[in-house]
Structures are given as C-alpha cells and as structure tokens.
Homo-oligomer: A and B are copies of this chain.
Amino acid sequence: MTSQAIHPLDAALALTPTAAAGVFTGHTTPDYWNMVGPYGGITAATLLQAVLQHPDLLGEPLSLTVNYAAAVTEGPLTLQVQPIRTNRSTQHWSVLLLQPDAQGQEQVVSSASAVTAVRRSTWGVSDAPMPAVPAPAEVAAVPVPENFPVQWIKRYEMRPITGSIPEQWNDQGDSSLSQLWVRDRPQRALGFAALAGLADVFFPRVWLRRARRVPIGTVSMTVYFHAGSAELAAVGSGYLLGQARAQEFRNGFFDQSAQLWSEAGQMLASTHQIVYYKE
C-alpha cells in the first residue's frame, strides 16, 4: 500500500499491538500537527482507537473523557488500555498515552476514560433539535493555503455558517457561538474515532468572544456518543453540523459545550471541554 492509498486519519490511528496485553504503539503524524503538538482531536481519536482495537471490547463507545496532561511531542506513542470493569452490557476503560521524557523514562502525556455499551432500542426524543441553517452547498468552504503552517486545519473541510474566525482582532467580540458544516478532508466514512476527532474541531471560544488571540490549551474534553455504528455508517462521508458555545470564562479557564448533528438532523455526539487561556 502506498502512502497515497491510506487516508491521513487512518495513518494517524494506526496502532500496533505489542506482546504486552493492552499495550499498543503508534506514532505522531505531521498531517494533524497543530502549532506546538498534535491537534487535540487526533489525540482523542487515538486514545479511543486503542479501546476499539482491544480484543475484549464489549459494545460501542458511549462516553469518552480525555485529559490533556502535557504537550505531546513528535515521535513514538505508547498506549496502555485496560478494561477496569466489565458488566453485562457496559464496559469501563482506562487508557494512558505515554511518551519518553528527556531521560528516556515513559511519562503520561494524556489519559482517557471511556465507557462502551451495548445499545438497545427504546423510546427516544431530541430536546436539542438541529438549528435551521443553510445547506452545505450554500455555504463557502474556508480556503486554506497549502503552505499554511497549521496542518490539521487542512484535514477538515469547514463551511462556517456563523461565528467564524474573526477577520479583525480588535477586542470587539460579543458572542461565543459558532456553527459550521464540517467533514474529513479527503472524505472518509464516519466512525467513532473520526467523530471523537471532530468533537475538538472548534477554534478556541475565547478567541471568538474577545476577538483576540491568546495562548490556549484544552485541559479536558468529554464526548457523549448518541449514535451507534449503523447510524454512523448511514452518515458515510456526509457533512456534520457542528455548533459550539462557551458558558463561563474566568480566571484562566473557560468551558465549551458543543453538538454534532448529521446532515439529516440526528444528533451524533454532544461534547464539552474546559480550556486554559492566558491573560
């Protein structure tokens, strides 16, 4: 298989089992590089992928919490994934992402907990229906120059509807709401790891709210999956509508709540994060 034949997301998610139970190795990929490390969404996707590849997996992802403990550096990754409790229809997972420090000692750079579950058909209703927005074809995609230094942006086709990156950084922001159509670029059939990656696709709310760029870093992100694999398969490589807003900015941290719907209007995931900001 040549490098052209594999999607960049699949390359990023390629994990190799080791002789030790629940230990996988991987490698950072330049395709999803952010400014000083990998895009947080690809780290989340990789942590979830380790669960999905575990031979004892029961059910499908229901929740995922990723804690970003330290900057991930370019190089090899070690993933330790462990089912800490297996019930009849739910399973609880602990995942550690490790990298060697300057002395060659493996250190935790990210950790995750996940719950997987067997879903059963029940009564259901949507209390947060998809907002009425223009169709993807009616919204222009953001052009990203090939020489743009932030790589992960090029891995998503983004069609902002409202709350796009400020054109002027003039400290005159007044809202933290963004809506956009988004999908993997190049197109790729949606799966759970891809959806976890998309959960982090929104640029920092504090940049929008202030119309000012300050240093930021996601500290913890949680994703709740509302769809099973059959529903994700039905989405295929279609667009998702993403919506994000902040609630509280105070003393160096803000929270973001977001939703991802299929173009057909089904909520696929709701997601929340708490983010550090400087100043």
Tell me whether B251 and A127 are in contact (CB under 8 A): no
Tell me whether A85 and B63 are in contact (CB under 8 A): no
A62 to B126, CA, bound (A): 30
A209 to B115, CA, bound (A): 25
Residue interface mask A231-274, B partner, CB < 8 A = 1: 00000000000000111111111010101000000010010101
**Chain B contacts of A278 at CB under 8 A?**
122
Tell me whether B125 and A209 are in contact (CB under 8 A): yes
Tell me whether B228 and A248 are in contact (CB under 8 A): no
Tell me whether B111 and A92 are in contact (CB under 8 A): yes
**Chain B contacts of A53 at CB under 8 A?**
none
Tell me whether B70 and A128 are in contact (CB under 8 A): no
Number of A interface residues in the complex (CB < 8 A): 61
A227 to B255, CA, bound (A): 12
Which of A67, A94, A119 lies at the interface centre, i.e. has the most chain B CB atoms within 10 A of its CB?
A: A67
How far does the Cβ of A257 sit from chain B's closest Cβ, in whole Å? 6
Contacts A/B (CB < 8 Å), 9 sampled = A63-B67, A67-B115, A94-B94, A115-B274, A121-B251, A127-B176, A128-B247, A224-B274, A228-B251
Say whether A84 faces chain B, with CB atoms less than 8 Å apart: yes
Say whether A123 faces chain B, with CB atoms less than 8 Å apart: yes
A127 and B249 contact, Cβ closer than 8 Å, known pairs A69-B84, A113-B111: yes
**Chain B contacts of A220 at CB under 8 A?**
62-63, 65, 113, 115, 222
**Chain B contacts of A117 at CB under 8 A?**
219, 252-253, 276
A109 to B84, CA, bound (A): 9
A252 to B141, CA, bound (A): 36
**Chain B contacts of A126 at CB under 8 A?**
247-250
A257 to B87, CA, bound (A): 26
Tell me whether A127 and B246 are in contact (CB under 8 A): yes
Say whether A124 faces chain B, with CB atoms less than 8 Å apart: yes
Tell me whether B252 and A226 are in contact (CB under 8 A): no
**Chain B contacts of A152 at CB under 8 A?**
none
Given A85-B107, A121-B251, 4 extra CB contacts under 8 A: A94-B94, A120-B251, A122-B278, A128-B247
Tell me whether A279 and B122 are in contact (CB under 8 A): yes
Tell me whether A272 and B222 are in contact (CB under 8 A): yes
Closest residue of chain B to A210 (Cβ to Cβ) is B123
Tell me whether B94 and A219 are in contact (CB under 8 A): no
How far does the Cβ of A70 sit from chain B's closest Cβ, in whole Å? 6
How far does the Cβ of A278 sit from chain B's closest Cβ, in whole Å? 7
